Structure 1
């Protein structure tokens, strides 16, 4: 059961209880993005906390909306060089080619 704001932050996970410490419910519900930013909470954590606060306020169960962060991408850069079994090549404009064509 959720009795304090710290219990709520523990219940939503992502170690939010270590990033924000608020004692009273009134102070907790008055928090907005600017106040969380001045408290030193990061952008993705701010968005997650505010989203969870709104869903909890709307009456959803914490188990329905609390989730772990999205894992990091495994493919980096400009994308894979092979897609659907075909090698991807850029289409070059022959007019901009550095190689001189014999006239």
Structure 2
């Protein structure tokens, strides 16, 4: 447990007061089984201590908007700007639905 607590580096930036650091240590000690310490389990909590959270979603329906109309006289300039953006990495080629 001490190794795990040291690995967390709870007060690395010295933001907490000594009493707050002790409180954090006490909470982690009293609930040591609530936290998982294996690297493969990082970001998870023991199911015995915390209820499962379920996020309800709705089925996504694809939508499509019309392209922005470009005047034929400006087409060359627009293409140059887009090519510059692609070359700079700001825009990327895509074949996605959007």
TM-score range, shorter chain: under 0.3
TM-score by length of 1: 0.26
Higher relative contact order (CA 8 A, sep 6+): 1
Q: What TM-score do the two structures reach when normalised by structure 2? A: 0.27
